[in-house]
Amino acid sequence: MKASVIESPSEFDALLEPWNELARIAQCRHFHQFGWVAACVRTLGKLAGRKLKLAVLWDGSRLRAVLPLTVRRHNGVRVLEWIGVEATDYCDALVDPTVDPAVALAALWDAVRRRGGFDVVRLGHVRADAKILSLLNPLEPWVETREEAQHLPLRWPNGQQWLQDQSAKMRERVNYGLRRIGKLGFGFHVWEPGEPLEPWVDTALAQKRAWLVARKEESFLAEPVGAEFLHASAAAMASSGWLHLSTIRSQDQMAACHVGFQHDGVLYYYMPTYDAAWSKYSVGTLLRDSLIMWACDHGFREFDMLLGAHDYKSQYGVSTTQLQTLAFAQGPLGHIALSTYRLLAGRRKAGKDATADS
């Protein structure tokens, strides 16, 4: 087997068919499908002048493993990161299950290291079960951050049974809320393949941007490239049959939207939004409850709420998965930069702890 590094868009585009075959064999999540990664490369890749640094492992004409990386500059330091980490909740390498992952990843990393062109490696959103850990753990990386993702195992045969098993307070909330919006002509709807994508995606984006502005929060979705990414990723996932769009709507208005994905019995709760004008009706919460019931009705085994330790998730009895951001240096400049960053991060944390204790 031979490892190499891809840095040009044309070489990346040529990976379409072999990557899709590898993804099929590996039975990976949508985050690691070529369509998703390509949407990230062609849109989010414009942010901060990112450059491809993607390692591939070939066995003749067969693609056996991929390490999807990119390089950006931050204060003069070249940072090696995952492709599309801004938008991808679970990041990892893609490895053929018939190949020893430790051997494959060692070959990929050796190719990246020899090619050079970076000072610090910073890999975020790494799950505890990620394949990349067999490579990273021996390197003793710095754990920059720890995060949590939540998922709800779906053990109910249908949505009504799920609702019946919830607290009396939650049952009343759901039933009352659905009756209330129903009287106004609103109900829960799921996008069907063949329907136009643009109205759904545009509405979700507009609602999310308004939400960000109201809370003075920053996100790539607020940038022009955010719209490009959302449309490109939705189109890619629709073509593979993995896109899931849902809404609380009337004949002519969407009060809440969700852009998500479905694959291998898992419904991914990716980007929920709502129109603030309808917030008093709790349309965002009603959409989430309706989604869970729909997933039960359609035989899904898991409702994955992905990253974010939001308070609302705890009411659903979710299970938790740990994720980390791991970093280590490459070369003298990298060691100086990472040491400085760690020192500043430690001071910020100490300041926050002192404020919290006062």
For residue 217, give the H/E element and its range.
none
Q: So what's the pLDDT on residue 358?
A: 53
- When pLDDT is cut at 50, 70 and 90, the band that residue 222 belongs to is very high
State pLDDT tens for residues 121-178.
999 999 999 999 999 999 999 999 999 999 999 999 999 999 999 999 999 999 999 9
Calculate mean pLDDT across residues 179-193: 96
Does the pLDDT of residue 354 top 60, yes or no?
no
> What's the rounded Cα separation, in Å, for the pair 108 and 101?
10
- Helix ranges, the chain (H): 9-13, 16-26, 34-42, 101-115, 133-136, 159-164, 168-182, 198-215, 224-240, 283-297, 331-357
State pLDDT tens for residues 292-328.
999 999 999 999 999 987 888 988 989 999 999 999 9
Beta bridge partners of 73: 78
φ, ψ (nearest 5 deg) of residue 230:
-65, -40
Q: So what's the pLDDT on residue 46?
A: 86
Burial (CB count within 10 angstroms: exposed 0-12, middle 13-18, buried 19+), residue 259: buried
DSSP 8-state symbol, 97? T
What are the residues whose beta carbons fall under 8 Å from the beta carbon of 159, sequence distance 6 or more? 292, 293, 294, 295, 296, 297
Does the pLDDT of residue 345 top 90, yes or no?
no
Q: Is the pTM of this model over 0.75?
A: yes
Q: So what's the pLDDT on residue 308?
A: 84
Mean of the per-residue pLDDT values for the chain?
Answer: 94
> What's the rounded Cα separation, in Å, for the pair 357 and 97?
49
> In 3D, which of 261, 275, 245 has the Cα closest to residue 306?
261
- When pLDDT is cut at 50, 70 and 90, the band that residue 351 belongs to is low
What is the SS3 assignment for 151?
A: strand
What are the residues whose beta carbons fall under 8 Å from the beta carbon of 316, sequence distance 6 or more? 150, 152, 292, 305
> What are the structural domains, with CATH classification, of the chain?
2-148+322-357 (3.40.630.30), 155-300 (3.40.630.30)
Q: So what's the pLDDT on residue 213?
A: 95
What is the SS3 assignment for 138?
A: helix
Does the pLDDT of residue 352 top 80, yes or no?
no
Does the pLDDT of residue 58 top 80, yes or no?
yes
- When pLDDT is cut at 50, 70 and 90, the band that residue 357 belongs to is low
347 alpha carbon, distance to own chain's centre = 30
Q: So what's the pLDDT on residue 350?
A: 65
Q: How far is residue 235 from each of residues 83, 204, 217, 283, measured CA to CA in Å? A: 19, 15, 27, 26
